[in-house]
Amino acid sequence: MPGIVPGMNFAPILVLIVNYRTPALTLQAVRTLAAEVRARGDAHMMIIDNGSADGSAEEIALALEQEKLEDCCSLLPLDANLGFAGGNNAGLEHYRQRAGRWPDYVWLLNPDTIPLQGALSTLVTFLDGKPEAGLAGGRCLRTDGSIRHSAFRFHSPLSEFVTALDLGPLRRLMQRHDVVLPIVNRPCPAQWLSGSHLMIRGSVFDRIGVLDARYFLYFEETDFCARAGNAGFEIWHVPDSQVIHLGGQSTGVTETGPTRRRPQYWFASRARFYLRRHGVAATHIANLLWLIATPPGMLLARLRGRRRQEAPRLWRDFLLHYYGPNGLMYRTRELAA
């Protein structure tokens, strides 16, 4: 396993990219962003290889050296896959231990993104001008230019019912319970933002700590935004900062049609967030509403000729993971700790 690529510096703006077996996509993101990072002179990219164990770290290290990217990007290889939160935390802690401080700004950027021109600087400028904002995230686009939702309300029992049934009149009537926020073309406050394209002010880490690594994958940014909001920081969506987000390249959970069953850690992360925010009774209610609303929601979609992007066997897996033998809802105290 290679060591940290020479050239790591402690610029006040740190871009973190966690790679897990997607070296080509990771390098594409780095190459795309390199010009803006170099032009600014106050930013640096760090790739954290999350224990890929497939030659990814060696491939990335070689490319950084051969393409002379070491002035603006370095590599931190890990021995194990720590998940999204744990991988980003490793990069943050590496920076802090050596620089003696947090960066002024940390931009969490997925490896399966292509930053468009000015994506980084737009977020920095916004946060510079809005000191009460602790987090800012931009717009995610699909490859065809259409918009992917990246600004949200927190999940709740009623949001599970609205989303699972997915009936237009009901969604309009209960809009304030819908997780997705309306798409707008100006900065707007949000309750939580997609972690694929998220900038965090360094002072947020001083007040609430780093991401919770007990979320292996999914809901970690939701939890972090909730903690930041509880600590008094505003959270803003800034649509002028844009990336193309391919989505699901490491997990197989893609928007265009999941290729794999929903992993167990998704159910665990969802349970952890619900239990912490809403408690045991409300989590049971949320689960029940999802189980009741999903079958008619799928039937209605089929009758309308609409394709729902559900993972294979999702309803059955949902029931078994939560209420089957050794189900998650029998370990609520442990998950909510």
CATH number of the CATH domain containing 90: 3.90.550.10
Count of domains forming the chain? 2
Alpha-carbon distances, residue 57 vs 4, 21, 33, 48, 323 (angstroms): 10, 9, 19, 9, 40
195 lies in the same domain as 77: yes
The reported pLDDT for the residue numbered 306 is 84
* Region of poorest pLDDT, from 9-13, 148-152, 220-224, 247-251: 247-251
What mean pLDDT is reported for the chain?
Answer: 93
| Structural domain contains residue 162 | no
85 lies in the same domain as 211: yes
| Structural domain contains residue 88 | yes
Could you tell me what percent of the chain has a pLDDT over 90?
88
Q: Which domain holds residue 324?
A: 264-336
Q: What is the pTM of this model?
A: 0.93
The reported pLDDT for the residue numbered 260 is 87
99 lies in the same domain as 216: yes
The reported pLDDT for the residue numbered 255 is 55
pLDDT surpasses 80 at 9: no
| Structural domain contains residue 183 | no
The reported pLDDT for the residue numbered 249 is 53
HSE (side-chain half, CA atoms, 13 Å) at 279: 2
197 lies in the same domain as 270: no
198 lies in the same domain as 84: yes
* Region of poorest pLDDT, from 99-108, 166-175, 255-264, 282-291: 255-264
More confident residue, 4 or 115: 115
The reported pLDDT for the residue numbered 1 is 42
Rg of the chain over all Cα atoms, to the nearest angstrom: 20
Phi-psi region of 236 (alpha: psi -120 to 50; beta: other; left: phi over 0): beta
pLDDT surpasses 60 at 312: yes
103 lies in the same domain as 199: yes
106 lies in the same domain as 197: yes
In sequence order, the 6+-apart residues with CB closer than 8 A to the CB of 46 are 8, 14, 15, 16, 17, 73, 74, 75, 76, 91, 94, 95
| Predicted confidence (pLDDT) per residue in 326-335, tens digit | 999 999 999 9
The reported pLDDT for the residue numbered 309 is 81
The reported pLDDT for the residue numbered 247 is 77
Distance, CA of 240 to CA of 199 (rounded, Å)? 14
State the SS3 of the chain: CCCCCCCCCCCCEEEEEEECCCHHHHHHHHHHHHHHHHHHCCEEEEEEEECCCCCHHHHHHHHHHHCCCCCCEEEEEECCCCHHHHHHHHHHHHHHHHHCCCCCEEEEECCCEEECCCHHHHHHHHHHHCCCEEEEEEEEECCCCCEECCEECCCCHHHHHHHHHCCHHHHHHCHHHCCECCCCCCCEECCEECCCEEEEEHHHHHHHCCCCCCCCCCCHHHHHHHHHHHCCCEEEEEEEEEEEECCCCCCCCCCCCCCCCCCHHHHHHHHHHHHHHHHHHHHHHHHHHHHHHHHHHHHHHHHCCCCCCCCCCHHHHHHHHHHCCCCHHHCHHHHHC
Band the pLDDT of 4: cuts 50, 70, 90.
Answer: low
pLDDT surpasses 50 at 2: no
| Structural domain contains residue 164 | no
| Structural domain contains residue 199 | yes
Mean pLDDT (whole number) for 35-48: 97
* Contact between residue 256 and residue 153 where contact means Cβ atoms under 8 Å apart: no
Mean pLDDT (whole number) for 8-23: 93
* Contact between residue 253 and residue 311 where contact means Cβ atoms under 8 Å apart: yes
| Predicted confidence (pLDDT) per residue in 111-133, tens digit | 999 999 999 999 999 999 999 99
98 lies in the same domain as 199: yes
Mean pLDDT (whole number) for 86-91: 98
99 lies in the same domain as 201: yes
Q: At which of 232, 251, 282 does a domain end?
A: 232
| Structural domain contains residue 276 | yes
| Structural domain contains residue 175 | no
The identity of residue 250, as a single letter, is S
pLDDT surpasses 60 at 6: no
| Structural domain contains residue 180 | no
222 lies in the same domain as 299: no
306 lies in the same domain as 195: no
199 lies in the same domain as 331: no
